[in-house]
Amino acid sequence: MNYTSDLLRTLDERGYIHQLTDAEGLDALASKEIVPGYIGFDATGPSLHVGHLVSIMMLRQLQQAGHKPIVIMGGGTTKVGDPSGKDESRQMLSDDQISANIASIREIFERFLTFGDGPTDAVMINNDDWLGQLGYIELLRDVGPHFTVNRMLTFDSVKLRLDREQPLTFLEFNYMILQAYDFLELSRRHGCRLQMGGSDQWGNIVNGMELTRRIDGTQLFGLTTPLITTADGRKMGKTASGAVWLRSDMLSPYDYWQFWRNTQDADIGRFLRLFTDLPLDEIARLEALEGAELNEAKKRLADAATAMAHGQDAAEAAAATAQATFEGGGAGEDLPTIAITDPISILDAYLELGLVASKKEARRLIDGGGARLDGEPVDDVNLMIEPGDKPRRLSAGKKKHGLVTKG
């Protein structure tokens, strides 16, 4: 389809659109007026991770196209827990924990969106503002009649849990009703016309549209993104060492930069379109590079993604550290570092630097030939590292490095 609105044309060209409820209707609306659109985020922890980034970028694209991003923090729904893609119930959090998580997550969004009181400025809203005020009987009476258990059992978030014979609590079963109610309230309070999210949220989005149409007669729209996987089929943002967090106190800007620098060749063009603001013609040039020249594209991706999440200074520092470490043979300033005053075993050094998860893993690394000290192979699991005037660089394979310095 040839879209006329900047919003849908951009989302389409950059690969964000998977499902769209009424393409022509939304395209026409976005061509003539400001469209407030929202995405919801759980407040289960103090940080979001790279798996959330495509949703964050969609809100960014919405704002850049002249529309209004609404960030919904699930202060209310976090107390229930989204069963989508989960095999077990989430841990219950206190109100204070949820509030602290929301404050922490807001700092992430302030890197990607412009907040304020203007017509296209982003706003962050806690759905506990209305969900926390609902009476149980009121909700059952006003909203309950618009949902059938028969249909609710067909949604993936419920069906997959039951197919795996994992328990689904009545609390979690209510999640889709509460999320649908969010769309109704946002339509009433903020004129919100669009909900976006990952493809696993399609059922929840459609529920909210239908509920609002039945109760208020308002037409709303839904848009989902494809599940973002890497070229080898892994879920985006999951690594052997854990989640790729968007807060610098949970993952250093250097490690974040390295995550993007290590993108597989086949993913470069797609990730540049989804996760940077680089112009499409420049992305086309970069993804057409071949062989060793592809490293330029990977560095551009790492620079742009890190600058967006952590600032230009952090991106430049990470790139300089990488160059010193990999190309110049130097130590680099942003690598994980431990300071010692007494000799430390090679196994303890690997473990304390976070390059391995256990001493057993460090032994396997050494036995397998993947351990290096200052660029030289290590074959002795009993090796001791002495405090010295110069930093010693430990490497686990080609991509993970750390420094041992004199304390």
DSSP 221-261: EEEEEPP-B-TTSPBTTEETTEE-BSSTTTS-HHHHHHHHH
Predicted local confidence at residue 20, as pLDDT: 97
Judgement on whether residues 149 and 297 belong to the same structural domain of the protein: no
Mean pLDDT of the chain: 89
CA angle (203 as vertex; 202, 206 as ends), nearest 5? 85
Tell me whether residue 215 is in a domain.
yes
136 CB-near residues (< 8 Å, 6+ apart): none
- Which residue numbers are catalytic? 44, 49, 52, 86, 90, 179, 200, 235, 238-239
Judgement on whether residues 213 and 271 belong to the same structural domain of the protein: no
Closest CA to 3 of 32, 22, 24, 29: 24
For residue range 239-279, what is the model confidence (pLDDT) as tens digits?
Answer: 555 789 999 999 889 889 989 998 999 999 999 999 999 99
Judgement on whether residues 220 and 292 belong to the same structural domain of the protein: no
Predicted local confidence at residue 326, as pLDDT: 65
Q: Which domain holds residue 37?
A: 6-225
Judgement on whether residues 33 and 76 belong to the same structural domain of the protein: yes
Judgement on whether residues 118 and 57 belong to the same structural domain of the protein: yes
Cα 241 to the center of its chain, rounded Å: 16
Tell me whether residue 167 is in a domain.
yes
Tell me whether residue 174 is in a domain.
yes
Predicted local confidence at residue 328, as pLDDT: 52
Residues with pLDDT less than 50, the chain: 85, 87
Q: What is the pTM (predicted TM-score) of this model?
A: 0.79
Residues in the chain: 407
Q: Which of 273, 298, 327 is the last residue of a domain?
A: 327
Judgement on whether residues 341 and 319 belong to the same structural domain of the protein: no
Judgement on whether residues 66 and 171 belong to the same structural domain of the protein: yes
Long-range contacts of 234-238 (CB under 8 A, 24+ apart): 235/51, 236/50, 236/51, 236/54, 237/49, 237/50, 237/51, 237/52, 237/53, 238/51
For residue range 173-186, what is the model confidence (pLDDT) as tens digits?
Answer: 788 888 999 999 99
Domain count, the chain: 3
Judgement on whether residues 321 and 352 belong to the same structural domain of the protein: no
Tell me whether residue 322 is in a domain.
yes
Predicted local confidence at residue 87, as pLDDT: 47
Predicted local confidence at residue 82, as pLDDT: 55
Judgement on whether residues 135 and 215 belong to the same structural domain of the protein: yes
Predicted local confidence at residue 150, as pLDDT: 82
Judgement on whether residues 319 and 357 belong to the same structural domain of the protein: no
